Amino acid sequence: MNEKSTPASESLPGNLQDLLPQLEALYTDIHAHPELSMQETRTAGLAAERLRAAGYEVTTGIGKTGVVGLLRNGNGPVVMLRADMDALPVEEATGAAYASKLTATDHAGNSVPVMHACGHDMHVAWLVGASTLMAQTRDSWNGTLMAVFQPAEETAEGAQAMIDDGLFQRFPKPAVVLGQHVMVGPAGAIGGRKGVITSAADSLQIRLFGRGAHGSMPQASIDPVVMAAATVLRLQTIVARELSPSEAAVLTIGSLQAGTKENVIPDEAVIKLNVRTFDEGVRARVLAAITRIVNAEAAASGAPRPPEITPLDNYSLVSNDEAATTTVAEAFRRHFGAERIHQTGPTSASEDFGSFGAEWCAPSVFWFVGGTDPETYAKAKAENRLNEIPTNHNPRFLPVLHPTLETGVQTLMVAARAWLANGAGD
């Protein structure tokens, strides 16, 4: 989103200030009651309740817990706004008065702490606010607004679950699909770009097989711990030695598990890793290199059987449509002023938002809204300590309520009205 010197001049209809106390109460309630992926029944219920109260046609249970609200308001384009709802298995350490103290049972049957460590609670509040105000001001626009509350973004299954459950057949095709995410950055600032904005992501589980033995008799073993350690180190050379400096990729080993006792060499080790890429060719090469290295290290160790490499989840690239992004960026500059809009580079975070536009063959635009206290951000930047600000997925990640809350409501409204009020996309 390129900056220009256009001053802020356009105002939105409706009274956001009157609605803010309700939205703040909704946000803190959802934050205190987070739900894991595909378990978002309470959150979905709150979203559906607010949509019905605003006059939307509401359909629930799409892709298990997804919610769609339609507000038909005469002839004009269909605009889809999306928010994700799920939380993470993270123990909250923010110290907020509304901090989560809940635990839940995950898909593997384990009891885990749960926290909105990625800001999806803010996303829900944003979309509820924008949907409510758009309904209250329907005399100022024409078309159909489709509000989509999506489950399970964190496990890369929610968007596809809604699609597989007939989203495209049950609802009108949108002229544009719009979405946003709260991120580290000055609260009130908005960032985006044309083209690729979030990376592709692939998560893999690797089981390495050895032969167990007593810790005092390593010669009787084929040690999977040593095999795993060698594999981890060699995997790091993919980015360092197999990719050009101009090619971007991230390869992270997030889990390495082996054995239960210090004097017992186990039979196997399990590695879980995550790869982020911005180009399909680079992605294919990195995944092929992982397979090659894992198998070679096992063979070099004399493993009794080949490793098992199991995909866990994957996210496609999210790529913003050029023309639609131009429309959104120009609308943002008119409303907010150029000083609050900036162009970002592609981020190594990943999203399943792109599935809606790509599979529906509809243009889509995704952008970021800052959620960090502006003074805190400015001080950290001046002291070269930006990496110390808690990021998404950190136990201390907590967007400041204001102006984050009102900014996200406004961005959704401004972007939607670029089509609904002005006829763009007809």
Residue 354 sits at φ, ψ, to 5 deg, of -60, -20
What pLDDT, on a 0 to 100 scale, did the predictor assign at position 378? 96
Q: Tell me what the pLDDT averaged over the chain comes to.
A: 95
Q: What tens digit of pLDDT does each residue of 317-350 get?
A: 999 999 999 999 999 999 999 999 999 999 989 9
Pairing of strands 200-209, 176-186: unpaired
- Residue range 271-278: average pLDDT? 97
Asked, as a colleague might, if the bond just before 304 is cis with ω within 30 of 0, I would say no
Average pLDDT over residues 146-161: 97
Per-residue pLDDT for 1 more than 80?
A: no
Encoding tokens for residue 360? Answer: 């529906």
Give the residue numbers of the binding site for Mn(2+).
118, 120, 154, 181, 393
Alpha helices in 91-238 (DSSP H): 120-136, 158-164, 167-170, 224-235, 237
- Residue 2 pLDDT > 70, yes or no? no
Percent residues over pLDDT 90 in the chain: 94
- pLDDT confidence of residue 11: 80
Residue 7: the pLDDT is: 39
Per the annotation, binding residues are 118, 120, 154, 181, 393
Determine the Cα–Cα distance for residues 246 and 341; give it in Å rounded to an integer.
Answer: 27
- Fold of the CATH domain 200-314: Alpha-Beta Plaits (3.30.70)
**Cβ(87)–Cβ(117) below 8 Å:** yes
* Euclidean distance between CA atoms 191 and 367, whole angstroms: 6
**Res. 125: pLDDT tops 50:** yes
Tens digits of per-residue pLDDT, 168-206?
999 999 999 999 999 999 999 999 999 999 999 999 999
Whether 140 contacts 13, CB under 8 Å: yes
Q: Tokens 């024409």 correspond to what residue?
A: 142
User: What integer pLDDT is reported at residue 421 of this predicted model?
Assistant: 81
Candidates 92, 66, 93; CA nearest to 80 is 66
pLDDT above 60: residue 94: yes
Task: Give the model's pLDDT for residue 157.
Answer: 95
Work out the average pLDDT over 17-31. 97
Does residue 307 register a pLDDT over 90? yes
Q: Would you state the pLDDT for residue 65?
A: 98
| Distance, CA of 362 to CA of 82 (rounded, Å) | 14
Query: Which H or E run contains 51?
Result: helix 41-54
CA-nearest of 222, 212, 239 to 293 is 239
* Domain segments of the chain as ranges: 16-198+317-420, 200-314
Report the distance separating Cα 331 and Cα 60, nearest Å: 32
pLDDT of residue 64: 98
Q: 216, 209, 229, 223: which is closest to 308 by C-alpha?
A: 209
Q: Is the pLDDT of residue 423 over 90?
A: no
* DSSP annotation string for 285-330: HHHHHHHHHHHHHHHHHT-SS--EEEEEEEEPPEEE-HHHHHHHHH
Q: Measure the CA–CA gap between 354 and 346, rounded to whole angstroms.
A: 14
Average pLDDT of the segment spanning 47-74: 98
In this prediction, residue 9 carries a pLDDT of: 43
16-198+317-420 is classed CATH 3.40.630.10 = yes
**Residue 402 φ/ψ, nearest 5 degrees:** -125, 135
Q: Is the pLDDT of residue 49 over 50?
A: yes
- Residue 229, C-beta contacts closer than 8 angstroms, at least 6 positions apart: none
Question: Could you report the per-residue pLDDT of 362-418, keeping only the tens digit for each?
Answer: 999 999 999 999 999 999 999 999 999 999 999 999 999 999 999 999 999 999 999
Tokens in use for 43?
């959150």
CA distance 337 to 406: 16
Residue 4 confidence class, pLDDT cut points 50, 70, 90? very low
Band of the pLDDT at 6, cuts 50, 70, 90? very low
Q: Is the dihedral of CA 360, 86, 118, 251 positive or negative?
A: negative
What is the C-alpha to C-alpha distance for residues 348 and 299, in angstroms, rounded to an integer? 33
